[in-house]
């Protein structure tokens, strides 16, 4: 299949590598001329420097060239750039093409999930959401992985599942688009907390507490917004939470660790050098909890650490001394 990948970050390139090795032809769009040249001339990506890109991948800075003559468009940009990037290529989409959103997060200005942004910008396009526990660094080298495609259209589910499935990547599917979106977006915030626990030298008990109670909060808000409870205990909820909280690959966990050690938000962003979705989206989660009247003490506490100068150690104290209640 001829596939377009909109975004040349680590996840976009990891997906490109995987799909090219499955025999597909990949056209990557990048906003950066230097990145384009590095991919085309050196067969390298700055975000996955140890990996040589296989044949079948080329890069362009032209939306029209990236989208032209492809059957599927994978959108893989940070959430804050999703709408503007879609505006860049929407005029070139053909009726037979589907769009697969591979980004996770919210649009901060509107508090919309990314599927809602797609509905506004691509009202006549059939689309799906790809999510699940999948570090780019591992997918790129063929570590066995399972992903989920969510879509209201059966043909999208079938097409995406068939092009992605292999001995290295197992595909599942669901029509719970909202649940998959929210699991992928909200787990980053809990991963930030897991990193803070590492930075404060807490142990496994603290990690388990944060992951478990964090999943409760994700499920509460997710169901209030229309997601199905079972989705949050599957790959795109619990699975993604485990991988993001527990791995050194996780930039969200790393950000929490840095900030718990006294780094400012800007210092953490500079140190990590890539988009940190938890920091970009915590205020959205905080606002949605208020809007839907959902109790989310972990989210509220993280918000206060980032934006109201709450000391991380005091944040832990506040969470631990809350009124006792049934689980």
Is 26 a residue whose pLDDT tops 90? yes
- Percent of the chain surpassing pLDDT 70: 100
- Percent of the chain surpassing pLDDT 90: 92
186-198 per-position pLDDT tens digit: 999 999 999 999 9
205 contacts: CB under 8 Å, gap ≥ 6:
none
Going by pLDDT thresholds of 50, 70 and 90, the confidence category of residue 273 is: confident
How many C-alpha atoms does 98 have within 13 Å on its Cβ side? 22
Going by pLDDT thresholds of 50, 70 and 90, the confidence category of residue 88 is: very high
Angle, vertex CA 256, rays to CA 230 and CA 46, nearest 5:
95
Gap between the Cα atoms of 66 and 318, Å rounded: 50
Gap between the Cα atoms of 76 and 101, Å rounded: 7
Q: For residue 113, report the phi and psi dihedrals to the nearest 5 degrees.
A: -75, 165
Q: What is the mean pLDDT of the chain?
A: 95
Gap between the Cα atoms of 25 and 55, Å rounded: 9
The separation between CA 308 and the C-alpha centre of its own chain, rounded to angstroms, equals 26
Which residue ranges make up each domain of the chain? 2-175, 178-320
What DSSP designation does 302 have?
Answer: H
* pLDDT of amino acid 231: 98
* Second CATH level (architecture) for the domain 2-175: 3-Layer(aba) Sandwich (3.40)
What DSSP designation does 61 have?
Answer: S
Give me the catalytic one of 27, 159, 187, 269. Answer: 187
Closest by CA position to 170, among listed 150, 151, 149, 145: 145
* pLDDT of amino acid 249: 86
178-320 sits in which CATH class?
Answer: mainly alpha
* pLDDT of amino acid 120: 97
206-252 per-position pLDDT tens digit: 999 999 999 999 999 999 999 999 999 999 999 999 999 988 888 99
Q: What is the 3-state secondary structure (H, E, C) of 219-257?
A: HHHHHHCCCCHHHHHCHHHHHHHHHHHHCCCCHHHHHHH
Q: Is 292 helix (H, G, I), strand (E, B) or coil?
A: coil
Beta bridge partners, 131, equal: 148
280-314 per-position pLDDT tens digit: 899 999 999 999 999 999 999 999 999 999 999 99
Fold identical between 2-175 and 178-320?
no
Going by pLDDT thresholds of 50, 70 and 90, the confidence category of residue 274 is: confident
Gap between the Cα atoms of 126 and 1, Å rounded: 18
43-75 per-position pLDDT tens digit: 999 999 999 999 999 999 999 999 999 999 999
* pLDDT of amino acid 275: 83
Q: How does DSSP assign 108-171, residue by residue?
A: TTTTEEHHHHHHHH-TT--EEEEESS--HHHHTTT--EEEEEE-S-HHHHHHHHHHH-SSSEEE
Q: Is 53 helix (H, G, I), strand (E, B) or coil?
A: coil
Asked whether 169 and 133 are in contact (CB, 8 A), the reply is no
Model-wide pTM > 0.85: yes
* pLDDT of amino acid 28: 98
Asked whether 130 and 156 are in contact (CB, 8 A), the reply is no
Closest by CA position to 11, among listed 145, 206, 176, 161: 145
147-174 per-position pLDDT tens digit: 999 999 999 999 999 999 999 999 999 9
Going by pLDDT thresholds of 50, 70 and 90, the confidence category of residue 277 is: confident
187 is catalytic: yes
């Amino acid at each position: 299949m001829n596939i377009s990948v909109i975004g040349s970050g680590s996840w976009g390139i990891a997906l490109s590598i995987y799909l090219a090795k499955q025999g597909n032809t990949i056209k990557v769009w990048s906003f950066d001329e230097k990145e384009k040249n590095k991919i085309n001339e050196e067969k390298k990506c700055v975000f996955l420097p140890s990996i040589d890109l296989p044949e079948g991948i080329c890069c362009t800075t032209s939306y029209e060239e990236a989208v032209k003559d492809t059957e599927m468009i994978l959108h893989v940009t940070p959430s804050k750039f999703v709408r503007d990037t879609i505006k860049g290529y929407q005029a070139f989409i053909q009726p037979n093409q589907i769009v697969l959103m591979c980004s996770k997060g919210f649009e901060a200005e509107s508090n919309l999930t990314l599927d809602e942004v797609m509905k506004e910008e691509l009202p006549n396009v059939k689309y799906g959401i790809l999510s699940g526990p999948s570090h780019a660094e591992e997918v790129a080298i063929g570590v066995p992985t399972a992903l989920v495609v969510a879509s209201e259209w059966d043909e999208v589910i079938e097409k995406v599942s068939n092009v992605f499935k292999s001995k290295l990547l197992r595909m599942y599917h669901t029509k719970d688009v909202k649940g998959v979106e929210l699991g992928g977006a909200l787990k980053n915030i809990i991963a930030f907390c897991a990193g803070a626990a590492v930075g404060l030298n807490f142990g496994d008990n603290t990690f388990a507490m944060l992951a478990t109670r964090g999943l409760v909060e994700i499920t509460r808000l997710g169901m209030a917004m229309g997601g199905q409870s079972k989705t949050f205990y599957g790959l795109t909820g619990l699975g993604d939470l485990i991988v993001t909280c527990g791995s050194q690959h996780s930039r969200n966990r790393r950000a929490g660790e840095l900030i718990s050690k006294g780094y400012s938000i800007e210092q953490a962003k500079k140190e990590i050098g890539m988009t940190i979705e938890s920091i970009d989206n915590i205020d959205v989660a905080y606002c949605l909890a208020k809007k839907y009247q959902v109790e989310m003490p972990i989210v509220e506490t993280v918000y206060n650490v980032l934006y109201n100068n709450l000391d991380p150690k005091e944040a832990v104290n506040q969470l631990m001394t809350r009124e006792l209640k049934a689980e």
